[in-house]
């Protein structure tokens, strides 16, 4: 176990290098945290340190609901909301929004639509629908570049529900029609 002064300095700096190497227990609240927990720093006189989460629990402390110190380091729960966004991105890439709605996606993830939108704004900087649209256009562009499929087939294989939507999305992004993109690539 690290000495008190080393642990205390790491806690006050919220040093990620010490994350998982010790746990901070607060006597006044009977809660223990990771050294990187974003909550208000407790007074040093109210703090003690433990080498493991199990040791803190054995001493009678409850895990913090914000930083989830009882989970193993680097597992999905350890990553917090970023894990939800990563899972959503994998589902979107697999076509979840090509055939379903954002409501369906949020239900599969176990979160509300508004919460999912907030998470995407925070971690991705775009909405789930915008991400899906970008992926669809990217798939369509690859199909236009690499195949001789008819435009309508490209639209459906890329995940668009109709050729009209495909043409509109392409025109909006490239300010050109899909067929003119194909001609430019081949020419």
DSSP 84-135: HHHHHHHHHHTTHHHHS-HHHHHHHHTS-HHHHHHHHHHHTSS-HHHHHHHH
Which is nearest to 109 in space by CA: 81, 75, 132, 133?
81
And the tokens for 146? 């690499």
Question: Which residue out of 7, 31, 33, 144 is catalytically annotated?
Answer: 33
Q: Where are the domains of the chain?
A: 4-63, 80-187
Active site residue 37: yes
Mean pLDDT across 23-46: 94
Lowest mean pLDDT among 49-58, 68-77, 101-110, 144-153: 68-77
Question: Which residue out of 36, 56, 64, 140 is catalytically annotated?
Answer: 64
Q: pLDDT (tens digit, 9 = 90+) per residue, 113-141?
A: 999 999 998 888 889 999 999 899 889 98
Give the pLDDT of residue 72: 45
Q: How confident is the model at residue 73 (pLDDT cuts 50, 70, 90)?
A: low
- CATH architecture of the domain formed by 4-63: 3-Layer(aba) Sandwich (3.40)
Q: CA dist 73 to 16, 21, 57, 97, Å?
A: 12, 9, 16, 32
Cα(first)–Cα(last) distance of the chain, in Å?
A: 68
Question: Which residue out of 10, 67, 91, 109 is catalytically annotated?
Answer: 67
Neighbour-count burial of 154, counting CB atoms closer than 10 A to its CB (0-12 exposed, 13-18 middle, 19+ buried): buried
Active site residue 75: no
On the question of pLDDT at 74 being above 60, the answer is no
Query: Bridge-partner residues for 32, per DSSP?
Result: 25, 63
Give the pLDDT of residue 115: 93
Q: How many CB atoms lie within 10 A of CB 53?
A: 20
Share of the chain above pLDDT 70, in %: 92
CATH topology of domain 80-187: Arc Repressor Mutant, subunit A (1.10.10)
Question: Which residue out of 10, 37, 53, 85 is catalytically annotated?
Answer: 37
Can 4-63 and 80-187 be said to share one CATH topology?
Answer: no
């Amino acid at each position: 176990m690290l000495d008190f002064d080393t642990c205390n300095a790491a806690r006050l700096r919220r040093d990620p290098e010490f994350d998982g190497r010790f746990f901070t227990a607060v006597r006044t609240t009977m809660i223990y945290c990771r050294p990187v927990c974003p909550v208000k720093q407790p007074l040093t006189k109210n703090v003690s340190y433990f080498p493991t989460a199990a040791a803190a629990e054995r001493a009678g402390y409850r895990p913090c609901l914000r930083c989830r110190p009882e989970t193993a380091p680097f597992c999905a729960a350890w990553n917090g909301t970023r894990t939800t966004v990563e899972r959503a991105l994998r589902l979107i890439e697999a076509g979840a929004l090509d055939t379903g709605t954002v409501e369906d996606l949020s239900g599969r993830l176990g979160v509300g639509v508004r919460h999912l939108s907030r998470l995407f704004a925070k971690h991705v900087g775009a909405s789930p629908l915008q991400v899906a649209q970008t992926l669809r256009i990217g798939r369509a562009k690859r199909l236009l570049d690499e195949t001789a499929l008819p435009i309508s087939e490209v639209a459906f294989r890329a995940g668009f529900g109709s050729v009209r939507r495909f043409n509109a999305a392409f025109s909006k992004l490239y300010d050109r029609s899909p067929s003119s993109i194909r001609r430019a690539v081949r020419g």
